Amino acid sequence: MEHHLMWNWPMIVYLFLAGLGAGALAVSGIVVLWDPAGEFRHRAALVARLGAFIGPLPVIIGTILLIYELGRPFRALNLFTSNFWFMFFNPSPMNWGSWFILFFCVFATVYALTFLPWKALLRGERGERLEARAERMRSPMAVICVPLAIAMAIYTAILLAAIPARPLWHTPVLWLLFTVSAISTGLSAIILVQRFMFRKPGAVRGAIRREDPAFRVSEYYLVSMKVLLIIAELVVIGLFIMFAHMTINSANFAVQVLLPGGELATTFWLGVILVGLLMPAFIEGFYLLRTAVLGHEFEWPYVINVSAPIAILFGGLMLRYVIVVGGQITGPIGI
């Protein structure tokens, strides 16, 4: 059956990219704040740097898509010209979200700038001064960016979940699902970029080299975090379906599009669950357990190292697709 979608692919891609950017930035900020002076930061400096660089870019692209989808794109600034305090007595999630996007883009860009190698870019005293200033600003910016990133990830779900007339979206676990998915896709993007950039050992001067044991250790931590997040996401998806299925009225009817026999069942079970979650979890889990249980050194084939994050990113996009489309082709039942 052909459906009329009011929110189409730009919205789906936006939700995915906003989650990805927020997740990458949250990971980066948490790594920076974990141990600002100690060894961990040095070891994971690459993760923090890549996360900071990845953070703002998808959100800016997604915001452009979002504005493109508006009926009147050139009026997007109307979201900000109305009184700032308006959002406190009419708390529309989209109004809050527009401010989150604005602050996110500004602060994430500033945060990314603190990671630029200023000393290499600007020679002389000026570069050294900027480098020192950037290093001083890094932790304070991370303090601002981590809550902003988490707020951003939650807002993308609350935007959908705030509407009672869309029973598939109107569920209290949607924010958890989107936040977990955001962090796992952000982490996957970091791992993917890290792998592409360091295909040849020593590709970036001054950074940690691939043959450096620290690189391997940080990757081990990242991948184990990712597998834990995938397991968490599976649990939350289970809760999401269970909540909807146990509801007597419209939500039960709406969730049938995801269950076997529904219109989106194939996309959901193959795209999201199998390709996006189960396959990467099993493959990565195998190599992780080999290290954790048998004590082998952590290493794996390049193909798997690249394809597992791509599968997770694909699963994240498919999750947004299934939720956004499924919410729109179902609705309140009864008259």
Q: How far is the CB of 322 from other proteins (least distance, A)?
A: 17
Instruction: Give the CA distances from residue 270 to residues 181, 194, 276, 278, 306, in Å, rounded to whole numbers and listed in that order.
Output: 17, 28, 8, 10, 20
Q: Residue 276's closest CA among 288, 268, 287, 265?
A: 268
Pick one of 35, 78, 211, 282: the residue that binds other proteins (CB under 8 A): 78
117 makes contact with other proteins (CB under 8 A): no
Q: How far is the CB of 246 from other proteins (least distance, A)?
A: 18
Q: How far is the CB of 148 from other proteins (least distance, A)?
A: 19
User: Are the C-beta atoms of 23 and 182 separated by less than 8 Å?
Assistant: yes
261 makes contact with other proteins (CB under 8 A): no
Pick one of 38, 71, 261, 295: the residue that binds other proteins (CB under 8 A): 71
Pick one of 88, 92, 126, 289: the residue that binds other proteins (CB under 8 A): 92
- Considering only the stretches 76-84, 104-112, 135-143, 231-239, report the one whose residues sit in contact with other proteins under the rule CB under 8 A: 76-84
Pick one of 93, 262, 271, 280: the residue that binds other proteins (CB under 8 A): 93
90 makes contact with other proteins (CB under 8 A): yes
Q: How far is the CB of 169 from other proteins (least distance, A)?
A: 8
Total residues binding other proteins (CB under 8 A): 36
With helix as H, strand as E and coil as C, how does the chain read?
Answer: CCCCCCCCHHHHHHHHHHHHHHHHHHHHHHHHHHCCCCHHHHHCHHHHHHHHHHCHHHHHHHHHHHHHHCCCHHHCCHHHHCCCCHHHHCCCHHHHHHHHHHHHHHHHHHHHHCCCCHHHHCCCHHHHHHHHHHHHHHHHHHHHHHHHHHHHHHHHHHHHHCCCCCCCCCCCCHHHHHHHHHHHHHHHHHHHHHHHHCCCCCCCCCCCCCCCHHHHHHHHHHHHHHHHHHHHHHHHHHHHHHHHHHCCCHHHHHHCCCCCCCCCHHHHHHHHHHHHHHHHHHHHHHHHHHHHCCCCCCCCCHHHHHHHHHHHHHHHHHHHHHHHHHHHHCCCCCC
Question: Which CB, 81 or 260, lies closer to other proteins?
Answer: 81
14 makes contact with other proteins (CB under 8 A): no
Q: Site map for other proteins, 212-251, x if CB under 8 A?
A: -------------------------------------x--
Residues in the chain: 335
10 makes contact with other proteins (CB under 8 A): no
Q: How far is the CB of 157 from other proteins (least distance, A)?
A: 14
Q: Residue 216's closest CA among 332, 72, 46, 51?
A: 46
Q: Which residues between 289 and 328 bind other proteins (CB under 8 A)?
A: 328
Q: Site map for other proteins, 144-183, x if CB under 8 A?
A: ------------------xxxxx-----------------
Question: Which CB, 1 or 293, lies closer to other proteins?
Answer: 1
Q: How far is the CB of 271 from other proteins (least distance, A)?
A: 24
Q: How far is the CB of 150 from other proteins (least distance, A)?
A: 21
Question: Which CB, 5 or 274, lies closer to other proteins?
Answer: 5
**Using CB under 8 A as the criterion, which residues of the chain lie in contact with other proteins when the complex forms?**
1-2, 4, 6-7, 70-72, 75-76, 78-79, 82, 86, 90, 92-95, 97-98, 162-166, 249, 253, 328-335
